[in-house]
Amino acid sequence: MYKGLTEELARKTDSRILLAIIDGVGDVSNAELGGRTPLEAAETPQLDRLASESALGLHIPVSPGITPGSGPAHLALFGYDPVTFNVGRGVLAALGMEFDLEYGDLVARINFCTVDDDGVITDRRAGRISTEKCTELISLISDIEINDVETFVFPVKQHRACVVFRGEGLDDNIEDTDPGLTGKKPVNVTGPGKSARVVREFIMEAGRILHRRHPANFIILRGFSIYKEFPSMRDRFRLSPAVAALYPMYKGVARFVGMDVQICEPEDLDGQARAVKSALESGHDFVFLHHKPADSAGEDGNVPAKIKAIEEFDRHLPSFLKLGFDVVCITGDHSTPCSMKLHSWHPVPVLINGGPQRIGYSKAFSEREALSGALGSFRAMDLMPLLLASAGKLAKFGA
Amino acid sequence: MYKGLTEELARKTDSRILLAIIDGVGDVSNAELGGRTPLEAAETPQLDRLASESALGLHIPVSPGITPGSGPAHLALFGYDPVTFNVGRGVLAALGMEFDLEYGDLVARINFCTVDDDGVITDRRAGRISTEKCTELISLISDIEINDVETFVFPVKQHRACVVFRGEGLDDNIEDTDPGLTGKKPVNVTGPGKSARVVREFIMEAGRILHRRHPANFIILRGFSIYKEFPSMRDRFRLSPAVAALYPMYKGVARFVGMDVQICEPEDLDGQARAVKSALESGHDFVFLHHKPADSAGEDGNVPAKIKAIEEFDRHLPSFLKLGFDVVCITGDHSTPCSMKLHSWHPVPVLINGGPQRIGYSKAFSEREALSGALGSFRAMDLMPLLLASAGKLAKFGA
């Protein structure tokens, strides 16, 4: 098990922590809102009341300037350095697509690409084919059969797809076949091992099938990784963690770090509140609540929808607060500015309520008010020790 | 010698630095004080005047959420990463108890514990026996004689004690015998080396002597460490450092990093001011001044006493300022919130006066005012380079 300072000091107590993530909640100054952010513009009486009694600050999802995908962003908030805990793009992509990975599976990202008659890559993204096209091409190569392994392929987005090989004795000691630039041939998979043989055969067969499918007439593979048991939050932090999320990606990442997935019925914030309640009743002491719509609205560039998503969370907040948590943290996994229609690197407001806290000057839950909070800004990775400390779950370091 | 950027760039100059540590000064919002902290509530005209002419900020003692003991907290402020410079609990405990360690001594922490008839641990802390009981039991095992080494034992606090083995050729390549949980036997000390043999014999003898002393009928040992020469502040930073402290623990840690211990006569802030003056007169250019009572009051949960301790420091401040330092830094080693009666992880206000400084918006020396200071928040580890730079003691890096 990975063992750092936090793991060494973590101790089991009865206190209970809620980590509520409003996905993509952070934003930037928006012209439609006269320079305010959607979070500033939203009517959030519950969050604002809580803010005035809480420690506020901003978390930096990975490091300054780095825009995280949902996987790394959540891993960091759960206390897993997404750079050190190199999960492998393949595995995160597969988890994100709700593929039911088994330990020992070899996973890789597929990129469709364009090669010329000599096999030299002329476009590493095959002209960014549509996701529909990708799905069609994947169905063509989904019948590839390779001795000794089961092979699963599925589309991800645009030219991106994923392959999973399942069988005995696979390893991920395989270089990316993507040379990283055009004008070169894909890197050959060499070596005598089973994995290399399987991957070679798969690429050859796929090349044969895609031969006439210009621009997506070949594939390059990268991010080979074996899905293996991951140090769990249970072992690392002595928590009994659970997740109340509606989207597969978040259930997947949460399960990956050892959270028990709760059934949310109906599939909305009411159902999530019930799920959180039952998680506590069954003895869990850490619950991750995930609220998706703010991120989706950001990705769509839909300011009113983002505001609405935030206000919806605010209205439901009391049904979570009343469940009796000792420490409540509300934040986002990353920013998703409406004006960008993308995830971004901008720091994300964090609120910690409960436990011994220093209350700063923040009067509301927003990007700017968080600047005058007592927590300052810190790496997302550092949130978990702060929550454990707030809940009395970390012993003192040294004499 | 450990050599990082700071060591490479450090240069000797005539400028003089005072590092004044108000132990445990940081606190959290306190209900007794209407949400203020003791530092906010204290009348501190000297500190507040200084604050308006100084750069303020907050230091994070170790890393977010981590509560440090006094040893690690001070090491960090002296520029020694307490995680990297793993001093070993044994050594810090022994220094803290003013034991006169010699280089090559093997030191370990002792915990009295309870074992059942099969030798299985049922309580790793022997019911947290009193310090008096601990002292009595230690006297029983203080006569253990082991071939080839001198053995010293002394009580620390409650079930905690310390053992020092002195002799040729000892090493600290020994695992903790503490299995970390009850229901297991203590971990056996294996291996052929002299240290392992000595430790095995000591544990066996102690077990024999304590046999009928339920609940403290056995010992577990941890934090084995050899006391060795430590890179000194003199070598690392080209300083001539001195300490004016009243408590053994702080003199111990200061001596450990190469500070000259000054006699304080009488044992109060007046005596400390005289000691600081004489340290300067004898050519020292870095003085660590330690003020203890704020921490003790915090540990006792005594808000008025903490306020009084801070005000006492404030009243005496001019007698230190007038001694002619070029750079004066005032901070704490960690927070000791009265409401917790414990050390905590909360960031600690820092003030740097003198040298070229950017003055922020802070109007007083307090946790919240420090939020609007020009220094922002930074790891305690980074304080020393900031002080050296302020005093003109760091050359430029690169051309």
Residues within 8 A of B (CB atoms), A 98-117 only: none
Look up the CATH number of the domain holding residue B58.
Answer: 3.40.720.10
Reply yes or no on whether the pLDDT at A359 is more than 50.
yes
Q: Are strands B160-166 and B106-115 parallel, antiparallel or unpaired?
A: antiparallel
Considering the domain architecture, whether residues A235 and A167 belong to the same structural domain is answered as: no
Burial (CB count <10 Å: 0-12, 13-18, 19+), residue B187: middle
Is A305 within the bounds of a domain?
yes
Burial (CB count <10 Å: 0-12, 13-18, 19+), residue A288: buried
pLDDT in tens, A47-57: 999 999 999 99
Determine the Cα–Cα distance for residues A9 and A11; give it in Å rounded to an integer: 6
**Smallest CA–CA distance from B96 into chain A, residue:** A399
CB contact burial B326-342 (16+ within 10 A = b; e otherwise):
bbbbbbbbbbbbbbbeb
Is B244 within the bounds of a domain?
yes
Considering the domain architecture, whether residues A78 and A174 belong to the same structural domain is answered as: no
The pLDDT, as a whole number, for residue A217 is 97
Determine the Cα–Cα distance for residues B383 and B55; give it in Å rounded to an integer: 12
Is B395 within the bounds of a domain?
no
The CA-based angle B300-B343-B52, given to 5 degrees, is 95
0.80 exceeded by pTM:
yes
Give the list of residues 6+ apart from residue B200 with CB closer than 8 angstroms, or none.
B189
Reply yes or no on whether the pLDDT at A302 is more than 50.
yes
* Contact: A386, B65; criterion CB under 8 Å: yes
Considering the domain architecture, whether residues B283 and B351 belong to the same structural domain is answered as: yes
Give the list of residues 6+ apart from residue A186 with CB closer than 8 angstroms, or none.
A113, A115, A119, A121, A177, A178, A179, A203, A218, A220
Look up the CATH number of the domain holding residue B116.
Answer: 3.30.70
CA of B379 vs chain A CAs: smallest distance (Å): 11
The pLDDT, as a whole number, for residue A230 is 84
Residues within 8 A of A (CB atoms), B 322-361 only: 337, 339-340, 342-347
Is A398 within the bounds of a domain?
no
Is B162 within the bounds of a domain?
yes
The pLDDT, as a whole number, for residue B88 is 72
Instruction: Give the mean model confidence (pLDDT) for residues A242-258.
Output: 89
Residue among A377, A386, A396 minimizing CB distance to B69: A396
Considering the domain architecture, whether residues B234 and B345 belong to the same structural domain is answered as: yes
Give the list of residues 6+ apart from residue A108 with CB closer than 8 angstroms, or none.
A90, A162, A163, A174, A199, A221, A222, A223, A224, A225
Considering the domain architecture, whether residues A69 and A138 belong to the same structural domain is answered as: no
**For residue A128, what are the domain limits?**
92-226
Query: What tens-digit pLDDT sequence spans chain B (399 residues)?
Result: 557 899 999 999 999 999 999 999 999 999 999 999 999 999 999 999 999 999 999 999 999 999 998 889 999 999 999 888 767 777 877 876 778 889 999 999 999 999 999 999 999 999 989 999 999 999 999 999 999 999 999 998 889 899 999 999 999 989 889 988 899 999 999 878 999 999 999 999 999 999 999 999 999 998 898 998 889 999 999 999 999 999 877 888 898 899 999 999 999 999 999 999 999 999 999 999 999 999 999 999 999 999 999 999 999 999 999 999 999 999 999 999 999 999 999 999 999 999 999 999 999 999 999 999 999 999 999 999 999 999 999 999 987
Q: Which of A210, A226, A242 is the last residue of a domain?
A: A226
Instruction: Name which of A56, A236, A358, A362 to mutate to probe chain B: the one with the most chain B Cβ atoms within 10 A of its Cβ.
Output: A358
- pLDDT band with cut points at 50, 70 and 90 for residue A399: low
Amino acid letter for position B306: K
CB contact burial B59-68 (16+ within 10 A = b; e otherwise):
bbbbbbbbbb
Considering the domain architecture, whether residues A21 and A97 belong to the same structural domain is answered as: no
Q: Which of A208, A226, A244 is the last residue of a domain?
A: A226
A9 touches chain B (CB under 8 A): yes
What ipTM does the predicted assembly reach? 0.82
CA of B378 vs chain A CAs: smallest distance (Å): 10
Considering the domain architecture, whether residues B205 and B102 belong to the same structural domain is answered as: yes
* Contact: B65, A388; criterion CB under 8 Å: yes
Chain A and chain B share a number of CB contacts under 8 A equal to 96
**A24 near A332, Cβ under 8 Å?**
yes
Determine the Cα–Cα distance for residues A180 and A121; give it in Å rounded to an integer: 10
**How far from each other are the two terminal CA atoms of chain A, in whole angstroms?**
25
CA of B372 vs chain A CAs: smallest distance (Å): 8
- At residue B244, what are phi and psi to the nearest 5 degrees? -120, 90
**A177 near A118, Cβ under 8 Å?**
no
The pLDDT, as a whole number, for residue A1 is 43
- At residue B106, what are phi and psi to the nearest 5 degrees? -100, 120
- pLDDT band with cut points at 50, 70 and 90 for residue A36: very high
CA of A256 vs chain B CAs: smallest distance (Å): 24
* Contact: A382, B82; criterion CB under 8 Å: no
* Contact: A6, B66; criterion CB under 8 Å: yes
The pLDDT, as a whole number, for residue B186 is 96
**B73 near B61, Cβ under 8 Å?**
yes
Considering the domain architecture, whether residues A290 and A360 belong to the same structural domain is answered as: yes
Look at the block and give the residue holding tokens 């309520």. A353
Is A243 within the bounds of a domain?
yes
Q: Which helix H or strand E contains B329, and what residues bound it?
A: strand B327-331
Domain total of chain A: 2
Residue among B66, B344, B368 minimizing CB distance to A385: B66
Is B68 within the bounds of a domain?
yes
Residue among B28, B58, B69 minimizing CB distance to A356: B28
Among the residue ranges A99-113, A268-282, B282-296, the one predicted with the least confidence is A99-113
**Smallest CA–CA distance from B31 into chain A, residue:** A356
Considering the domain architecture, whether residues B362 and B241 belong to the same structural domain is answered as: yes
**How far from each other are the two terminal CA atoms of chain B, in whole angstroms?**
25
Q: Which of A226, A256, A274 is the last residue of a domain?
A: A226
Q: How far is CA B226 from each of CA B90, B104, B274, rounded to the nearest angstrom?
A: 9, 6, 36
B247 touches chain A (CB under 8 A): no
**B254 near B243, Cβ under 8 Å?**
yes
Considering the domain architecture, whether residues B236 and B359 belong to the same structural domain is answered as: yes
Considering the domain architecture, whether residues A198 and A266 belong to the same structural domain is answered as: no
For chain A, what percent of residues have pLDDT higher than 90?
A: 85
Is B334 within the bounds of a domain?
yes
pLDDT in tens, A73-88: 999 999 999 888 767 7
Tell me whether the omega of the peptide bond preceding residue A266 falls within 30 degrees of 0, making it cis. Answer: yes
Considering the domain architecture, whether residues A385 and A236 belong to the same structural domain is answered as: yes
